[in-house]
Structure 1
């Protein structure tokens, strides 16, 4: 079979990949960071099982190469098939170019990427169709380019794995996944850390030489393209190999069971480890971050959160007054940075309603979001715990039956709902909230007549709020209080919304429009709510899930974590300002204090109005874990690193000092060990309690 003989491009690329991975294992084994000796059996497993893993991973990863090779043909350019295929390509190109394709709904650069890809495919197919005289030369050039891309990826991956090992002493993990998210930061770090030009020059040179050798020795494949019968046989063989690979890869991963961690890592395939990290999205705290003994960590935590039990966060919250069982509506607003509001210095009047509502509410002026993704915001007001390294608990497998704000309401005979205008399947919200006794209401349950506008993210906020009013009217008839958690969607790319609602056209697709429409929709919601019988007996909590962006000059630019928050209930809450430094995880425990709830708490969040509360805020990315306290930002990073920055206020505009959000972060040479240990205590104990299932309800 031409595709699988010893001089086919498929086989030579497989051999090349195996050679590079063999060399990589040798280099990593001899690396100074690999402080370990290997037994004969461990060495055998590293190279034999590693070899098999590399073979099966290549088979999976070469799917597109296989499809490219098997579809090489002259018959598809014959009349009329060639013209029909070319017409279909042209139609698809014009469809995307029209700006009305499904790719446009997603916003960002996706339409441009799609247009470029289809444009290139159309152009190349046209060349091969209309210039048959040069078809063989053009095909060979494309063949060489394809080989070069695969060779470059194989070499580049090996180099990347080396530098990752050089930094962390392991194969790819969730930090590598995180690097894809924070591309600008990573590229900047690489540019400053390594001799990029010489390094890339060497990689390029090796790739060109290797491509030349493989292309020269596989040129015969193009000159004797397999016929249809042979292609079917090739497809059958590859399908069997692909299926075996899917079964063998997880089996081989289970054989990484040595007590020697380095042996397991060397035996593994880096690409498969990346896939597992992407799917599992967790970082083991003790393995990658500074730590203390558990006893010391919990002892330090007890100084910050009094009355907790030994090696636990469990404590009794006791209120002397009678509990107040008012309805509660929690609205987490998509990407609402504090800097969008007038009080925080914005002069563009993007949030006139929220600006006015703030003066009628209990307003928390010094509040920080825990992270920079919606799942982090949802986690913070539901579980009230510090953000963990890796992925949010919302997206982890062990995310059910937790001690949540919803469970507290449920125990008081509240009806508990999570309302979302999009598809709750996104970001694992359905699995998380459904697994924690929330009734879920999302886009799938809207009737066509209830949708006036929608985009890829879901129905517009107005439609969601109208539906929420209808649901709450029904709930109020049941004779028991309700807790509804509403997540908004409109302030999200592509920033489209119904026309004629605000003075910024929807087709401008601007962040300003998204913010202003979000504010407008909230105004309409409260206009409707004020007319309902349950309004006077309801407490509204409005806060952002996270800021609109999180990039900055430092790992954790604190101005990118400052969010607005207000509690509004005209018959119950007096308008005032709370200027105390606090975290997003403190919002709901503070609300429970206002409602005089007494309960056994497993929350790290605290009632900020209690005398024993010590001001602090917790902020994080997927890998950098931070604590703000005493005008110092402490950051824990993988590799057991710790940095501290002095926070120096940069006054901007004429707004009140309580609403200033800009700070310089000056790296501290003399670190405060007490704050480092306190930061460790928050994150280490949370990781342990989650692992030991001590935060379950």
Structure 2
């Protein structure tokens, strides 16, 4: 029989006991606070504490799992050394401090959101500067830090008084016993993290009881993994049937036939044209509209893009849906408004969705995603690879990769310049051209999604290409423009150019990530469609969204297709200009000069927007328009969450 108190595991189990005890205190504090807002049945009270104990124990096992591994492998002769004793006590104190801080953070987070940690808490990590200043203004930070330190030292002192450290370091636990204990703890921790979902606690109608059943730290990492906020818990709702009726009415353009069911699935009838050009979509990193002369820039940063815009179908008043690359990818591939949390590209259960690539596939196209960096970043490879795209990226092979398409790695021989973010734009365009050459030889139509990287920090690019210096935003914009112009010139010399359409659009604006308030001017992006057969140049000055680009293109091509997209053909006479804008938390709906802003706490703010002055003034909008904005975001969340966007 192993005497845990006199073994090298006494500190580990002591920490677990400390964690469960303080978790119990925090849960009780939150329970008392919640009792002011709701009634708890006896069953719900029991559930809060029993399920809570289960989640607390699982969380404690995960926190201590690496220490359990350390205790397994370090021999007794080293374990009893002074350096190990000092290291262990310091690590113990550090983890007590971290968990105490998380306990305090749980209380403050609950005061504001009446919830365990969710994606809002994850979001706060992005705004560290603002959050620290907010805490400093809301609480006496020196006293708070001093209090946490005092409690941490008190816990450590109690461990000394109980002789837990002394007995621990004097022990000589046998390897056999270490193997049994450590392996049991590690297996339990892994099993908990793999098989126990945070949502398992949400099995009742009392939201407070569900939240109290969870553990704060485990909820935080579950939110980080799932990348979403539950729209129904934190945002204003309307009746579900009414919401879908509003959206379907909004999408009911000419030659549209809706199918039955609570979805937006519909059949769109075009001219039944046989015109099927190759499509190359260049999604340009951080290309704000303000960089182009068309929008008043006088620095001559984008001469080639400005020239292309003059000879293309130019969307001169288009807006991105978000402030991150993956949000732009979501808009262009799923044609959906942004939902709370991170992009669907980064979420779980995002395979086999109804994508724009699916429409191309039904027309006989091969879809390929090109990225000059490692597509493992931001889950890009998984998203595109499990939604019918072949992948070409500058990454590394990973075990257990399962994509519906193929994956090709960009070789060193194909790279002339590379920084930490990826290969230069010229290189990724060269790779795409070679791939197009092969597709043409095989008589294969292709739809390419190319994601550029050169206009991303650190803004470095090959020497002797342009006159502006490397390492600056202006230089990166000018180089990106140069690379796109060179690509178009080379493409024009190809035999398949006559049957190839090029689309150039930004993923989001520059210097926009990290802005939690909706600054509409930071969402305006350029978009242009080049080389569309028998189509004269056109300036589409209507306000449009990223999500409208492909539906408008398919209308110009005259295609019949099925759609589960929120994007519309903006050239249709019935189109009423509106755009969707979002951060991680805030969702905006802009229609004309009417602006609706949705926030957690089910908060709804309405404004009039003056584009010329970039001003938002509070104004009471009609309920009809407020319901319209809510309906789009609510149904978009529901369709994805309920799996109704799957093929």
- Which of the residues 232, 237, 240 maps onto 1:294? 240
Unaligned runs of 5+ in 2: 395-407
Deviations 1:134-165 (A, max 9, x none): x99x986x877655533332222122212222
* 2:583 match: 621
Structure 2 partner of 1:279: 225
- Cα gap change, 1:143/1:562 in structure 2, threshold over 3 Å: closer, same or farther? same
Offset at residue 55 of structure 1 (A): 3.0
Of 23-32 and 422-431, deviating more is 422-431
1:548 partner SS: coil
1:339 equivalenced with 2:286 (yes/no): no
> 1:33–1:169: 8 Å Cα contact kept in structure 2?
no
Which of 501, 507, 513 does residue 465 from structure 2 map onto? 501
Q: Distance in 2 between matches of 1:693 and 1:48?
A: 32
Equivalent residues of 1:147, 1:211 under 8 A apart:
no
Q: Is 2:598–2:604's contact at 8 Å kept on the other side of the alignment? A: yes
Residues 571-619 of structure 1: CA distance to partner in whole angstroms, max 9, x if unpaired?
A: 5443332111010000111111111112232221011111000001101
Q: Does 1:431 align with 2:382?
A: yes
Deviation readout 1:46-93 (Å, 9 max, x if unpaired) = 32342343233223224566789999999989xxxxxxxxxxxxxxxx
Displacement of 1:551 after TM fit? 5.3
SS of equivalent residue, structure 2 residue 190: helix
| Counterparts of 1:224 and 1:448, CA distance in 2 | 57
In 2: Cα distance, 1:15 partner to 1:565 partner: 58
Summarize deviations over 1:147-191 as a string: whole Å, max 9, x none: 553333222212221222223322112222222223344445545
What secondary structure, in the 3-state scheme, does the structure 2 residue paired with 1:158 have?
helix
CA distance in 1, matches of 2:76, 2:218: 37
Is 2:123 aligned against 1:178? yes
Alpha-carbon offset, residue 540 of structure 1: 0.7
CA contact (8 A) 1:370 1:386 kept: yes
**1:241 is aligned to 2:185:** yes
1:537 match: 499
Q: Is the 8 A contact 1:73 1:225 kept in 2?
A: no
Q: Shift in Å at residue 319 of structure 1?
A: 2.8
SS at match of 2:39: coil
Q: Residue 363 of structure 2 corresponds to which residue in structure 1?
A: 412
Q: Secondary structure at the match of 1:564?
A: strand
Does the C-alpha gap of structure 1 residues 609 and 186 become closer, same or farther in structure 2, counting only changes over 3 Å?
farther
Q: Secondary structure at the match of 1:563?
A: strand
In 2, Cα distance between equivalents of 1:74 and 1:352: 70
Q: Is the 8 A contact 2:120 2:585 kept in 1?
A: yes
Q: Is 1:257–2:210 an aligned residue pair?
A: no
Match of 1:574 among 520, 533, 536: 536
1:648 aligns with 2:634: no
Question: Please, which moves more after superposition, 220-229 or 620-629?
Answer: 220-229
Correspondence for 2:479 among 517, 521, 545: 517
Structure 1 contact 9–215 (Cα < 8 Å) conserved? no
- Work out the CA distance in 2 between the residues paired with 1:191 and 1:624: 24
**Correspondence for 1:226 among 169, 185, 190:** 169
Query: In structure 1, what is the equivalent of residue 62 of structure 2?
Result: 60
Distance 1:174 1:5, change over 3 A: farther
Cα drift, residue 441 of structure 1? 2.2
Pairs aligned (count): 622
Paired residues of 1:367 and 1:564 also in contact (CA < 8 A):
yes
Cα distance per residue 1:292-333 (max 9 Å; x no partner): 112221232244222563643233323347342122111111
The correspondence for 2:511, drawn from 536, 549, 562, is 549
> Is the contact made by 2:585 and 2:599 (CA closer than 8 Å) also made in structure 1?
yes
CA distance in 2, matches of 1:696, 1:216: 55
CA distance 1:224–1:402, shift in 2 (3 Å): closer
Whether the aligned pair in 2 keeps the contact of 1:547 and 1:561 (CA below 8 Å) is yes
In the TM superposition, what are the counterparts of 1:558-637 in structure 2 within 5 Å?
A: 558-569=520-531, 572-637=534-599
Distance (Å, rounded) in 1 between the aligned partners of 2:95 and 2:426? 49
RMSD (Å) for aligned C-alpha atoms: 3.4
Where do residues 288-437 of structure 1 align in structure 2 (5 Å cutoff)? 288-306=234-252, 309=258, 311-320=262-271, 322-437=273-388
Q: Which residue of 1 aligns with 2:16?
A: 14
2:149 matches 1:207:
yes
Query: Conserved in 2, the CA contact under 8 Å of 1:49 and 1:252?
Result: no
Q: What TM-score comes out, normalization by structure 2 length?
A: 0.86
Deviations 1:640-667 (A, max 9, x none): 111123222345xxxxxxxxxxx1223x
**Following TM superposition, by how much is the alpha carbon of 1:12 offset from its aligned partner in structure 2, in angstroms?**
4.6
Q: Secondary structure at the match of 1:492?
A: coil
Indicate conservation of the 8 Å contact 2:375/2:381, yes or no.
yes
Distance 1:228 1:356, change over 3 A: farther
Q: In the TM superposition, what is the alpha-carbon distance from 1:359 to its structure 2 partner?
A: 1.8
On the 8 A contact 1:634/1:642 being kept in 2, the answer is yes
Q: Is the CA contact 1:13–1:214 (under 8 Å) kept in the aligned structure 2? A: no
User: Which blocks of at least 5 consecutive residues in structure 1 are unaligned?
Assistant: 78-127, 129-134, 652-662
The change in CA–CA distance for 1:227 and 1:533 in structure 2 (over 3 A counts) is farther
Counterpart-to-counterpart distance in 1, 2:179 and 2:392:
45
Aligned to 2:637, which of 671, 675, 687?
Answer: 687
Alignment of 1:169 onto 2:123: no
Q: Distance in 2 between matches of 1:5 and 1:53?
A: 27
Give the conservation status (yes or no) of the 8 Å contact 2:71–2:178: no
**Contact 1:376 1:387 survives alignment (8 Å):** yes
Structure 2 distance, partners of 1:367, 1:669, is: 24
Instruction: Find the aligned partners of 2:373 and 2:299 in 1 and give their Cα distance.
Output: 29
The CA deviation at 1:680 is 0.7
CA distance in 1, matches of 2:608, 2:136: 26
The Cα offsets for residues 104-139 of structure 1, whole Å up to 9 and x where unpaired, read as xxxxxxxxxxxxxxxxxxxxxxxx9xxxxxx99x98
Structure 1 residues 615-624 or 247-256, which shifts more? Answer: 247-256
Deviation per CA, 1:240-280, whole angstroms, max 9, x where unpaired?
32322332464596466344333232122111111211112
Which residue of 2 is the match for residue 486 of structure 1? 450
**48 and 411 in structure 1: CA distance in 2 versus 1, 3 angstrom threshold:** closer
